[in-house]
Amino acid sequence: MNQNKVAVIGSGLMGGGIAQLCAQSGFETVNVDIAQEPLDKANALVEKLLGGKVAKGKMTQDEMNAVLGRLSYSTDFDDIAGACVVVEAVPERLDIKKSTFATIDEHADPEAVLLTNTSGLSVSAIAAATGRPGSVMGAHFFYPAPVMKLVELIRGLATTDETYERAAAFAAAIGKETIDAPELPGFVVNRLIVPYENEGAFLVMEGVKPEDVDRGMKLGCNHPMGPCELMDFTGIDVVLATMRGLYEQFGDSKYRPAPILQTMVDAGRLGRKTGRGFYDYSK
């Protein structure tokens, strides 16, 4: 096993960002996905982001080339062999994650630490898809992964102390700070942020302008972003899915999604990624 090799499964915005982060931190990194197109998009985005750093004088061209030299892309799960850490970052659906972990189990080295980047699913259920649940734990990154400092660490029922220690050491090696989160829906951050976002959506539905909701929290509470801006940044569809998951699992009315969120999703107003959410980004 190569202690300097990391594999990241999934090349969407989170997976591609985590792969970029690992390569920037000095790890030989392979980003694996089931199709070539998302890998090509991830590669192009990383080159664009790093090129922007070079243009702003925050990175030299040689440093950029070194990062890109440590980052490779593959559709072959055989290429995760030798990785000391495998990070899964596929869509937030239990069936997809369990299927992915069953495949990882077939190809990863026996000593590898297997991390799931879930924002609220059961780590124990995901780990049960493998023959080594003690080597599996949650590592919840935040978007954008190369920038946000926090990783929530979540033990499954079978996670060993060694796995936890190695996961914490890996997080430190890529420049992250960690908190221990319980294996309960939403962990820590989403348990706190979802009611905040949801109440902002209710206020807009009741006639308050998004600008006033956001300015109130930024000027009155010194938040860097108000709830409407934050939902647009994250994606209204992602926020709604998170709220529904918490509501279904806790049954607490504070997680009951504001109806306006479903209306926005139905209209395709998902936030920044579609050019329209609570705000209009098309201009």
Residues known to be catalytic: 119, 140, 152, 190
Compute the half-sphere exposure of residue 59: CA atoms within 13 Å on the CB side of its CA. 17
List the strands of the sheet with 2-9, edge to edge: 71-74, 28-32, 2-9, 83-88, 113-116, 136-141, 150-155, 177-181
